[in-house]
Amino acid sequence: MNRRLLSILFTLIIAASFGCALPSFAQDIAAASETERIAIDSADYLKNERETGLTSLKGGVSFRFRDSTVYADEAVLDEKNKTAVAKNNVRITDTRGDFSGDALFYDYDSEWFEIANGSGSTISEGVSGRVFFTGRIIQGTSKKIKIIGAEFTTCEPQCPREYHMYAKTAVIYPNNKVIARDVYFYMGNTRILYFPVYVASLKQNRRYMPEFGYDNSRGFYALTQYPYLAKELISGWIILDYMSKKGVNYGAEHEYKAKRLGGDGYSKFQTNRETDTGNSSNIAEIRQKLKIGDNIAGNFNFNRRSSYNEYLRGSRINSNTLTLNLTRQIFELKQVENATTKGAQRRTMNLAYNKNTSQSSSGQRSSDDVNFSHQLFFNQRLSTSYNYQFSSQKYSGQPTLMNGRFKSDTMYAGSLYSLAMSLQRTYDLDDDKNLSNNTESLNVMWPKLSLTLQQKLYGKLLPQKFFPISNVQMTSERIRQGPRNKSEGLRRNTFFVEARKTLFPDIKKLNFNVTQSFTQYMYSTQDAEYIMNHTSDATYSFNQRMKLNVNFSSVKDSGGSPYNYSSQREAERLRSSFSINSPSTSFTLSTQYDYRMPPDRRFSPLSISYNRSVSQNSKLTIGGSYDINYSRWGDANTSMEIRRKNTSLRLGALWDTKKFDLRNGSIVMETARKNGWKFNVQSIIERKSQYGFIREIVAKKTRCCTEIEFKYNTTLDLFQFQYVILAFPGKKFGFTESSQGFEVDQSAFKSETTPGHIPGQNAQ
């Protein structure tokens, strides 16, 4: 035994004799051999046998390997076989989750473990909630955990087990999914359902439970999505929907990862037939991410839909959509410490192809769109790009329409100025003189040159104290509005300057900012030699509570507009707003005045808003408007909110200020009881309303992992009862009863991590 090992063992024995935690520099058994990577954090007793390579630990044992830490009362480490055996109060924690049990066998070289009579939990990144489980045997690695005799639920261990599932075997793929076989679903201790296979995603908000119900359009229905294929990288579902009035819908759906192709893929095939209406449809959909080599990535999508009515001849419509996008990125290779790494991006190429075809008894149509772009980065300051678009449209009995457009941009960003040059040209490839786009942006005849001066340049030429310039731009271009055969090309030069100034900077409680901008357009026509746009903005605030904003804008021309498709008239506009804000009060006034050539002179209504906290638990809001043009007040809104302990009351009203008559009002009361029940009552007052005063009553109680809700709505004549299972993270499942029958509350399926997501739409 060498001196290094003797020194470590001596330190371990001394520490164990005094019952203290082991010092970190003496905990690493790997010092005896470079291949061993396990570390001992603490133990009351330690014994090492050199001949067998066994290390015995007792009392407060804690050892770790990489991201895993094991706690136990007793443990034996086998240094030769890279294994560990622990018993009594065993617990292991790592990135997979937390596990505990009676005994543990741990092969720390392959990171494989087995726990007897164990329990644990797992979670997915970005998803709230955990899945808790127990089993006779828990075994696996960081990528796959198998449980024999599994029971799992989302109810917290300290809560009553309101529901759970028992499975003969269950496999957990951390941060991915749970696959269980021979599954029994229990409500409390009562067995309700049986599933040969039950698959639950830990990261998707997908519904796996069947839906049962009744409504007038479908009749009695049963909607199922059965997961018949359960693998780590492939998920498959059989879709089978039965509706007594409409018939049967069936199909299959798959989600998978194709590593050779580039990643996630999706396919769906479904047939829908409605016996009552005769409408039928067949759907086929394929989506696949692509990756070709190290630099090319993209997406491929195909969608086919065939619809027809069995009772109408010639009603069939077949449509196909094909989309292909490819992107190629090339990076510079740099040497960093004798290693080759990717540096700055040097080139990007994009190719997009889209094809749509539709065929019916009335004819056939098709369209092709191609978009190709190429961007070059010469250095951090200079780059150039060009883009070509081609479109082709063909209709039955008509000639093919073909158009194209080419555009190029070159950018240089220097320390003193930046320069941009753009070129654009539209092509009438079929020479039909029928370019439908008459907008200026698509029919510009360039080159267009834009020069922007940096503050570092004009700051030296103009003293900022007297000329606080913040932006200077100059542009020269040739433009036209409308097709080339119907409009005249115009040369336009533009000069833009903006100035910002803070007045009285030495006064701390006063903030007075003034911003002015001037845009001068100069055209090569006699009718409109120039057009100037001017904007002035002044903001005054005092002590961050009182604020006044005044904005003035104007358009001046020399007698006419150079455009054929849009008018350009002289106009002036003055806008102003005044507000007072404090911790308990806010008050706002705002209006606008527009001046044009007579008779277009008018004020916008003067809007008023007032908010006042009457007390710590109450708030008053008043809002209204005053029409200055006609000297009359508009309707006024008032609301009052009162909160006390577990009860809140909100009163709202809309008033006719001329007659001081109540147009409508609302009352909302919410209260929470100590036993967990929450009540919400909504009442509305309306003139000549056919409904009663009370519109909706909701009673809800949320328990550990389930929820009970009663709801009655007089407007919809709807009664709902829900027993909701807060199932795997972020999901809910429940039934409702209304005048039409049982229904599923779609809002109950919204995910906490993806607001507004409706199950059945698959996350890609």
Domain stop point among 166, 183, 201 = 201
Answer for the pair 711, 698: CB distance below 8 angstroms, yes or no.
yes
Instruction: Write down the pTM of the prediction.
Output: 0.62
Q: How confident is the model over 147-196, as pLDDT tens digits?
A: 999 998 888 888 888 888 899 999 988 777 788 889 998 888 889 888 88
Residue 16 three-state SS: helix
Residue 577: Cβ-neighbour burial (10 angstroms; 0-12, 13-18, 19+): middle
- Please report whether residue 310 resides in a domain: no
Average pLDDT of the segment spanning 84-93: 89
Q: What is the pLDDT of residue 398?
A: 81
Least confident of 302-316, 424-438, 470-484, 705-719: 424-438
Q: What is the pLDDT of residue 155?
A: 84
- Please report whether residue 615 resides in a domain: yes
Q: What is the DSSP string of 252-318?
A: EEEEEEETTTTEEEEEEEEEEE-TTT-EEEEEEEEEEEEEETTTEEEEEEEEEEEEEETTSTT--EE
Residue found under tokens 């990643």: 263
Residue 10 clears pLDDT 70, i.e. is over it: no
Q: What is the pLDDT of residue 704?
A: 80
Q: Buried b vs exposed e over 142-159: b needs ≥16 C-beta within 10 Å?
A: eeebbbeebbbbbbeeee
DSSP 3-state percent helix, strand, coil across the chain (nearest 5): 5, 65, 30
Distances in whole angstroms, Cα of residue 602 to Cα of each of 545, 572, 599, 627: 31, 11, 9, 10
Distance (Å, whole) CA 177 – CA 230: 10
The structural domain count of the chain equals 2
- Please report whether residue 18 resides in a domain: yes
Please give the residue that has the higher pLDDT: either 735 or 186.
186
Domain stop point among 153, 177, 201 = 201
Q: Which residues make Cβ contacts (< 8 Å) with residue 493, sequence separation at least 6?
A: 474, 475, 476, 521, 522
When the pLDDT of each residue in the chain is averaged and rounded to a whole number, the result is 78
Structural domain boundaries, residue 185: 3-201
Q: What is the pLDDT of residue 667?
A: 93
Distance (Å, whole) CA 73 – CA 200: 35
Residue 489 clears pLDDT 80, i.e. is over it: no
Give me the phi and psi of 26, to 5 degrees please.
-110, 5
Q: What is the pLDDT of residue 213?
A: 62
Query: What CATH number should be reported for the domain holding residue 100?
Result: 2.60.450.10
Distance (Å, whole) CA 230 – CA 294: 31
Q: Report the DSSP beta bridge partners of residue 75.
A: 57, 86
- Strands 585-595 and 219-230, by their bridges, are unpaired
The pair of structure tokens assigned to 97 is 């989750």
Residue 218 clears pLDDT 50, i.e. is over it: yes
Answer for the pair 169, 142: CB distance below 8 angstroms, yes or no.
no
Q: How confident is the model over 29-55, as pLDDT tens digits?
A: 433 333 456 788 888 888 888 888 888
Distances in whole angstroms, Cα of residue 371 to Cα of each of 352, 386, 446, 626: 5, 11, 20, 53
- Please report whether residue 187 resides in a domain: yes
Average pLDDT of the segment spanning 193-206: 75
Residue 286 clears pLDDT 90, i.e. is over it: yes
Domain stop point among 675, 702, 729 = 702
Residue 31 three-state SS: helix
- Please report whether residue 579 resides in a domain: no
Taking alpha carbons only, the member of 262, 261, 254 closest to residue 235 is 254
Answer for the pair 707, 724: CB distance below 8 angstroms, yes or no.
yes
Distance (Å, whole) CA 345 – CA 334: 12
Q: What is the pLDDT of residue 325?
A: 94
Q: How confident is the model over 507-556, as pLDDT tens digits?
A: 777 888 899 999 888 877 665 567 788 899 888 887 778 888 898 888 88
- Please report whether residue 569 resides in a domain: no
- Please report whether residue 616 resides in a domain: yes
Distance (Å, whole) CA 591 – CA 611: 19
Q: How confident is the model over 551-578, as pLDDT tens digits?
A: 888 888 755 556 655 556 677 888 888 8
Q: What is the pLDDT of residue 424?
A: 82
- Please report whether residue 111 resides in a domain: yes
The pair of structure tokens assigned to 540 is 């005054």
